[in-house]
Amino acid sequence: MKRRTFSRALAIAATACAAPSLLAQTAETPEGAAAPVMGPDDMRAELNDLLSNYRLIGKQRLTYWGFQVYDARLWAQPGFKKDNIASQPFALELAYLRDFDAIDVAERSIAEMRRSATISEAQAKTWIAGMMRVYPDFKKGDRVTGINKPGVGAAYLVNGKSTGEIRDVEFARLFFGIWLSPQTSQPKLRSALLAGAA
């Protein structure tokens, strides 16, 4: 029970979407204990079949009230443009620094997606079910990578292994918008992730 309560309390941070009033902050320099640091080529093997000629566009660590939450990295092809994100292939990786229940991450994702669009309860239930199908409960050190597939939806890898797809273009647009859209509740994180975009 304690674990779920703690996980729910941090679920906002789990999806990089704490409201500004909650004083979330980002930091590039690790502080204290952290998951193993990945080098710039560590994603190569798992992305080779999904993105060609990709590179690291930007990265940032999210902290929340002093808690380290995850390290985020955005991978895309040269010429990646921040003005039309949904139409381009890319990979967004989160390396978790804490444990999170999948249901908490899924429910909070829907709440943040609603910042950009109206989502019906029926649609929310469908998308939560989809996320629960591709998400495990996350443990410290786990890496989840979401791949935007234009015209298809989103594909997911956990620790480098495929866990499935959510074949819905609107879902993918709103999901990745949690981090990358102008409506994100974490504009500093967005700016860092898109630092290398055109």
What value does the mean pLDDT of the chain take? Answer: 82
Dihedral sign of CA atoms 45, 173, 94, 76 in order: positive
Is 169 within 8 Å of 8 (Cβ atoms)? Answer: no
The predicted pLDDT at position 11 comes to 47
Both tokens of 166, joined, read 């959510």
For 142-179, the pLDDT digits (tens) are: 999 999 999 999 999 999 999 999 999 999 999 999 99
Phi first, then psi: give them for residue 187, nearest 5 degrees: -60, -35
d(CA 79, CA 32): 35
For 45-77, the pLDDT digits (tens) are: 677 767 778 899 999 999 878 888 999 999 999
Instruction: Please report, as a single letter, which amino acid is at residue 12.
Output: I
Sequence-ordered strand ranges (E) for 20-152: 24-27, 55-64, 67-76, 90-96, 143-149
Which domains are seen in the chain, by residue range? Answer: 2-193 (3.50.70.10)
β-sheet bridge partners, residue 67: 64
Dihedral sign of CA atoms 69, 15, 9, 138 in order: negative
For 70-100, the pLDDT digits (tens) are: 999 999 999 999 988 999 999 999 999 999 9
